[in-house]
Every structure is written in C-alpha cells, then in structure tokens.
Structure 1
C-alpha cells in the first residue's frame, strides 16, 4: 500500500498565511470602497469641498471689506476643517477665524526697518533670541519717534487693550510688548465674555474660535527648515513648495508651555508664538480627496474614542501633523479609494511612533515638540 504524501508543516503555514492575507486584503478593499462611498455622501467629495472653499474665501473677503468699511485695520482669515473640507455632518466642527491687525508692521531683528514719516503703522521688532524655537519677543523700536503714532490709535477702530497699552502703559515694560494686549478683554460686553472660553491664543464663543494676530512679512530661520530638510519626494510637490515660500508667518498671543525649561517664566507674558497657518492651509489644499477622507476618518476616531479618554491632550493638530508626515513618507499610489482603511492605519502608525518617542515634530517649524505641555511623561504609557 502506497504511503500518502503529506505537505510539510512549514509549507501549510505559509499557504494559510497567504490565504489569510489575500482574504483580508479583499475584505479591506471592499470595506474601503464602501466607506469611501459613505464619506462621499457626507460632504467629503471633490465637488462639495471645492464649493465650501469658494464660499469660505468669499466670506473671508466679505468680512475683511466690512471691517475696512467700518474703519477697522484688520484682515480676516479662515482656517481649519470648515475651509479644508475635512468636516462632516455630526462632527460639529468649530469655525476658526484669525484677525490680522494691520495696525502693526513687524520685521525680524536681522532686517533693518525704515521708519517712514507718513506711515501710520506701529513698527515692531521680532526677536527669536533666547526663546523656545516656536516663540519670539516683540519689541518697540524708537518709541520716542513713534509716540505720535501711538496717540493716533483710536479705540473706535483699534482694540481697546492695544490703545491703552500704547498710549499709556508701554513705558512700564522696557519696550517689550505683552501678548495679553491682544486678548480683547475690553472690547466685548460682559455678557459675551461670560460665554467665552480661552483655548491657547483662541477665544471660543459657542462654535466659533477667534484669534487676534499680527502678520510678519519675513520668514524666521526655524521656518526655513521646512524647505531645506530632506524628504522622499512624494509630497509636497515642487510647485506647492515654491508657492509656500511666498507665505510668511502670523505672530499669535500665546507664550510657551509652562513646563518648557528654555524660557524664563517671568517673561511668559512677553513671548508670542510663531504660526504658519497659511502654509498649512496651502498643504491641505494640495491634497487629493482620498487624503482628505483618510484624515477625516482619523478625526472621527479621535472624537469617538480618544476625546472621552484623553480630552484635548491629543489634539486635532497632533493628528494633522501625523497625517502630513504620513503623506510625505508614503508612495502616492498607496492613496486609493480601495485602500482607505490602510491609509488610516498608516496615519495612526505615525502617531504611535511619535508617542513611543515622546516627541511629535512640527511639520513646518524646526525643533518643536508638540507634546510639550500637552502630555505628561507618565501618560505616554497609556
């Protein structure tokens, strides 16, 4: 009687593993396609995204023109999920507004400003020396020469806190400007202020976040690293990078985390944060619909599972940063409708790597740890 031949155990294991991978891959593809169609119906599609961006751009222009008509020296910008197209029904995403005060003209301390005689703007120096890498100090130059400009500030057109500081209090601060003058605590009725909550530089009322800021028309050296550092070449494209070089930065009223050892706590109120909102918005606009769907899914997962456990310690900006680095380091052909589930997994893998290292780098600013002041050392184990 002939002996029956049996398949070696190691070959059977390989065959079963291959079969499992094939079946699992097929399941992921089917589920990814269904999920993609579902997101299509909930406003994460090309047509609706483009429409929302046009509407938000129009709203930006309308708000700016309205303020100019009223004599307010401000320009309005809209950032965040509402203009990016990464929000859906039920997420209740906030609308993020930034008011750029054109009362001021900012320059880096490496530049040489020219005080023009008929210029009504207050000229301010931005210095990053002795500050944490994402922060700076604002200092008045030639205050005696600019004193006449201070008196021209009008509480009907400029923020009351700013007017009081430059008209009366500036001599008590050695030329340094505290970021608290941008909080606008004297600009609103008490009933409105009672509804407001402050999150970092933003003032939140209901579902609207508003930040007062200044625009600096020069790029600090720590922001130039974004254009100089090595990258695989998948994304962003050279066209996007060239356009990003034309954008500069906002200076927003927020000091460094209290746990940062680089800065002296006595000067916390005099430090301002450097923000690259325009560059980040450009990067979001350069992405395909599949990218936006994957990012929207991660935000949904964050809201459903992470927020109840960790509150805001893992913020949407942490997720967006992990998303940017994932897109940069992943081949373009991976981002497909039938591979949506894996794209989400890649984003979480990047975030997990940051958590294991206890370091989340900023995508556009050098030597920043976004976990600083957000997550305590013992919490990383969770």
Structure 2
C-alpha cells in the first residue's frame, strides 16, 4: 500500500536537498517565495464514492447531462490529507469546546484525500448567472461572518 507519509516525505527531502526553504501546512507545502503547492497522484478514473452524486435526482435539471458525462472523464487526484486527528480544549469566554484525537501512525499514513477539483471546475462553469451570484454571496458571507466567530478560512 502506498503511504501518504512516504510520498510527501520523499518530495520534501528532495526540495530541502536542493536548498529550498519550505513549510508544510496540512497537504500544502509553502515555498520561500510564498507559493503554495499541493502534491498529488493523478487517477484517470473516479472511485465509486465519487460517482454517487451523479445518479441522484436533479431537480432544476442542473447540472446538464453533458456536464455529467464530461465529469466522469475528469479523474481525480489523491492528496496527502494533512493532519488526521482532532483536539479538545474549552474556551470559557465563547463557551466553545474543542476536541483533540490523533490516530495511530500506521492508520493515518494509509489515508488519502480524494480531490475532484477538475469536476468541481466543470460544475462551476455550468452554473447560470443566478446560481453564480448565489455562490459568490455564500462565499462572502462565510468569509466575512463565520471567520470572525470561528477563526477559520
């Protein structure tokens, strides 16, 4: 089985060997010039878990059948999942609790994140104007309001 830990560690070793200064944040590697890189393995076919949404009923006839057919050909990327685990602490001011749980290393190194970003691009390009404006407003609301309370991006 291909270990995500081995995959990323070898890539990082190479970049360090050529003298580059890098930092890792989850699956992202940030280089000294500020570029973010996500290393992945391309898979030309989609896993069954990635195909289930295509069989669901589509009220409003979105996405178009043509888009669905194209998305089946997009494939996916296997990506290092970043830190697998949780943490717990309590913030008495906000009344919020946080949980910390780490998985065994052999379990965590066998996990991969399936990224279907090519399919997501097709779906965004298939949106009509009202859907696109709604998507933009939701992203702005998340960024402006939720980030203030949750401190996430």
Same structural fold, with TM-score higher than 0.5 when normalized by the shorter chain: yes
Partner Cα distance (1:204, 1:292) in 2: 30
Partner Cα distance (1:293, 1:307) in 2: 20
Contact 1:255 1:271 in 2 (8 A): no
Partner Cα distance (2:131, 2:35) in 1: 26
Instruction: Tell me which of 274, 278, 285 is aligned to 2:114.
Output: 274
Q: Is 1:288 aligned to 2:115, yes or no? A: no
Indicate the structure (1 or 2) with the bigger Cα radius of gyration. Answer: 1
Per-residue CA distance 1:78-129 (angstroms, 9 max, x = gap)? xxxxxxxxxxxxxxxxxxxxxxxxxxxxxxxxxxxxxxxxxxxxxxxxxxxx
Aligned CA distance change for structure 1 residues 281 and 273 (closer, same or farther; 3 Å): same
CA displacement at 1:268 relative to structure 2: 0.3
Contact 1:213 1:253 in 2 (8 A): yes
Higher relative contact order (CA 8 A, sep 6+): 2
Aligned CA distance change for structure 1 residues 309 and 179 (closer, same or farther; 3 Å): same
Partner Cα distance (1:212, 1:234) in 2: 35
CA displacement at 1:278 relative to structure 2: 0.8
Aligned to 1:81: none
CA displacement at 1:269 relative to structure 2: 1.6
CA displacement at 1:191 relative to structure 2: 6.4
Instruction: Tell me which of 21, 26, 30 is aligned to 1:192.
Output: 21
* Structure with higher strand content: 2
* Structure 1 gap segments, 5+ residues each: 1-138, 140-175, 316-382
Aligned CA distance change for structure 1 residues 180 and 303 (closer, same or farther; 3 Å): farther
Q: Spell out structure 1 runs of 4+ moving beyond 4 A.
A: none
TM-score normalized by structure 2? 0.70
TM-score normalized by structure 1? 0.31
Q: Secondary structure at the match of 2:39?
A: strand
Partner Cα distance (2:24, 2:52) in 1: 34
Aligned to 2:41: 214
* Structure 2 gap segments, 5+ residues each: 87-102
Per-residue CA distance 1:266-285 (angstroms, 9 max, x = gap)? 32022211111111111111
Contact 1:213 1:250 in 2 (8 A): yes
Aligned CA distance change for structure 1 residues 208 and 302 (closer, same or farther; 3 Å): farther
CA displacement at 1:231 relative to structure 2: 2.7
Partner Cα distance (2:34, 2:107) in 1: 32
| Paired residue total | 132
Q: CA RMSD in A?
A: 2.6
